[in-house]
Amino acid sequence: MKTTTPPSDVPLTVRRTGGAGLALFASIIVSFLAASSAPTPLYALYAARWHFSPITTTVVFGVYAVVVLAALLVLGRASGHLGSKPVLLTALTLQAIAMAVFSEAGGIGALIAGRVLQGIATGSALGALGAAMLDIDRERGTHANAIAPGLGSGVGALVSGLVVQYLPAPTHLVYLVFIGVFALQAAGVAALPDTGTRAPGLRSSLLPELAVPRHLRAPLLTVAPVIFAVWSLGGFYGSLAPALAHELSGSGSAVTGGLGLFVLTMVSSTTAVPLARTPPRALMLYGITLLVVGSLLTLAAVKLSSFAGFFAATFVSGVGFGAGFQGGMRTIVPLAAEHERAGVLSTVYVICYLGMGLPAVIAGILVVHGGGLTAATRDYAWFVVALALTPLIALSRLKTPTPAGYQDTPD
């Protein structure tokens, strides 16, 4: 029969944080991702003010993804050697500095500098946050890891759009709000006991490495195309979809510009509740199917110049995003042992941010040097379809490994 063997090195201080700690760590992921999407409704305002093209928009967007990747690879395992508290406090400080840079931005250089600071902060913290939530509660932590990123991205885009549309000094106020949020979260982290054990070997841990245990490599390779596909869709909605929404609606409203990303990510997050007990493989198949359907509906909406059709497609794609990402996370994350979690989560987020950044930059180039925004949207939709369908055969053959922490014992 199966019996649970708790790892001897799980820090008790993590478990003593309980639900409050889980909520705090999840809120930090939400706020970090919200801050990353806050500039989305402002891109049109920046472009008009500083006269830059869609290529520049996607480059500013892509810089963040590239820096997150680098930080995940170099700093993603630092919390295992320094402890989670100093890593998280440093990340929150960097995020606050990034918000200050954005609030005083006077050109593209400042936007890129702010994105670099954001990327370092986010990449250094994601692995530690995800691992800490799993240490508190494996099941709830897994769900929180799947829900929080999308929830944050959607909230950030909508709040920023509302601030731009209805409040004064929009290019300053939204960032000042986030500085206040980060200050409160830093106070919360400082009040908690440290959330990780310290171990020697910090210098060697800074060498870039994708830390995937051998028993997780086949499952990760199977789910990677779907994770890449859903986050590439997020990259599109975070960079070019605001311009597409403005074109289809004929409105220049900042709320309209941020609404697409909000709908996509909020729908993706809410799917976690009704699908919480669905087996991971079935979730992946649902995600693939709905990503394909949503992309085809997007193609139809663009062809018909239908704003309502675009948001109907966004809703369907959002369910596909949520199912695909949740299925991928639930296939991989619970199977990692305690000491493997930060590295595994960092690897998963590397796939996410590659998907979010690279296709978006290519799409920006296509907008300018290809057939324009409509043609780039069509190409992007077909790319998502092809990528989502890639793992179908592998999924049918995937054998789920035994979860870490379990072992066979005689009856």
Q: Indicate the SS3 state at residue 3.
A: strand
d(CA 16, CA 7): 16
Among the ranges given (101-110, 124-133, 220-229), the one the predictor scored with the smallest mean pLDDT: 124-133
Domain 13-198+214-399 is classified in which CATH homologous superfamily?
Answer: MFS general substrate transporter like domains (1.20.1250.20)
Count Cβ neighbours within 10 Å for each residue of 138-166 and write b for 16 or more, e otherwise.
Answer: beebbbbbbbbbbbbbbbbbbbbbbbbee
Let me know if 182 is exposed, middle or buried by CB neighbors in 10 A (0-12, 13-18, 19+).
Answer: buried
> Quick one: pLDDT at residue 250?
84
Looking up tokens 């975070």 gives 238
Count Cβ neighbours within 10 Å for each residue of 11-23 and write b for 16 or more, e otherwise.
Answer: bebbeebeeebbe
pLDDT confidence band for 197 (50 / 70 / 90): low
Q: Which residues contact 241 (CB under 8 A, 6 or more apart)?
A: 260, 261
H or E element in which residue 126 lies = helix 108-136
Give the predicted TM-score (pTM) of the model.
Answer: 0.71
When the pLDDT of each residue in the chain is averaged and rounded to a whole number, the result is 79
> Quick one: pLDDT at residue 8?
34
> Quick one: pLDDT at residue 167?
83
User: 152 with 32: CB under 8 angstroms?
Assistant: yes
Domain boundaries in the chain?
Answer: 13-198+214-399
Nearest to 62 by CA among 388, 363, 373, 407: 363
**Phi-psi region for residue 410, left (φ > 0), alpha (ψ -120 to 50) or beta?**
beta
24, two tokens = 């705090």
pLDDT digits (tens, 9 = 90+) for 319-332: 998 898 888 888 88
d(CA 127, CA 211): 11
